[in-house]
A = this chain, B = another copy of it.
Amino acid sequence: MFRLDELVARLGGELVGDGALVVRRVATLDQAGEGDLAFLANPKYLSRLKSSRAAAVIVGHKARDAVTDRPRIVADDPYLYYAQVASVFNPPPPPRPGVHPLAAVSSPVPASVQIDAGAVVEADVEIGDDVVIGAGCSIGQGVRIGAGTRLAPRVVVYAGSVIGRDCIVHSGAVIGSDGFGFAREQNGRWIKIPQMGRVVIGDDVEIGANTTIDRGALDDTVIGRGAKLDNQIQIAHNVQIGEDTAIAGCVGIAGSTTIGARCMIAGGVGIAGHLTIADDVVVSAATVVVKSIHRPGVYTSTLPLQAHADWVKNFSHLRHLDALAERVRALEQEAQRLPDKNSDQTPG
């Protein structure tokens, strides 16, 4: 529970109304009740603001006086302010220091570290203060994990991987598995190429559930500081991801591709190997990237969905687009040879 003036003292913003009001949690406009602090991030929900039972609201400058019957915090970016307030109300639980008797730990760890039941920590591992290793995690030999990082249950970190400070890794994530590297013999059989690089993850990175990040073949796979990766993302060997780049769920990035800083890659995108994506590129959902992108901007190849009967009619032509284009060319040439449409055709 916080007083509004405590929140403003801590996070900034302008307080309008009774700063002594105590709020107990943040909530959506629809859901908010007595004692709740709601927020208006999108002006199109203005009507919900008016009907909301929230005790106080976070609004932008334009909506400063859209409601006047209760206290407001006016912020430059109400959504960002909400994120900050929500973190004040819901800090992550502090580590419960200690190593569970059913964990198998072969490296010395600081007293502040929490290691849960079923976790395995191999030799030569370096773990920083206040790290949490969830139940059933497996931490390979020589791994380094920075202070304040939290691994949810059942994360696997292969030998030699490096994870920065204050990272969050969700359950089922696999870090440092072998890259998919094989050479082909004449007879079609595949010879495995040992994957000797590492995965190196910067500070303040979040990695989603069941996301996989392969180690490099010779060089490292690198995830830059502040990058945010959603669930079920596949990062192949030797990929490099720039700082503060955010990648949504189900994205696959093939080997040796470099992605710049502050990119936003939407869900289901596939990115081919050996490409370079510039800083500040946005890729729309389900787009397939098969060429490098050298300039910031939004890129898309999403297909429009249709009722199935319409799709059958329209998409069949895709197989014959070249023929259609050729027919249009032929018609144009024919039109060229016809008498000029503006000349007088009436015979004299």
Residues of A bordering B, CB below 8 Å: 26-28, 31, 77, 79-80, 82-84, 86-87, 89-90, 100, 102, 104, 116-118, 120, 134-136, 138, 140, 152-154, 156, 158, 168, 170-172, 174, 177-178, 180-185, 188-194, 196, 206, 208-210, 212, 214, 218-219, 226, 228, 230-232, 234, 236, 244, 246, 248-250, 252, 254, 261-262, 267-268, 270, 272, 283-291, 297-308, 310-322, 324-325, 327-328, 331-332, 334-335, 337-339, 341, 345-347
Contact = CB atoms under 8 A, between A and B. Distances in A.
Given A177-B152, A192-B87, A305-B291, A341 B331 contact: no
A87 B228 contact: no
A310 B334 CA distance: 26
A154 B153 CA distance: 10
A304 to B, nearest CB: 5
B324 A319 contact: no
Contacts of A79: 183
Nearest to A83: B183
Contacts of A168: 178, 192
B319 A318 contact: no
A287 B310 CA distance: 14
Nearest to A346: B347
B180 A249 contact: yes
A308 B327 contact: no
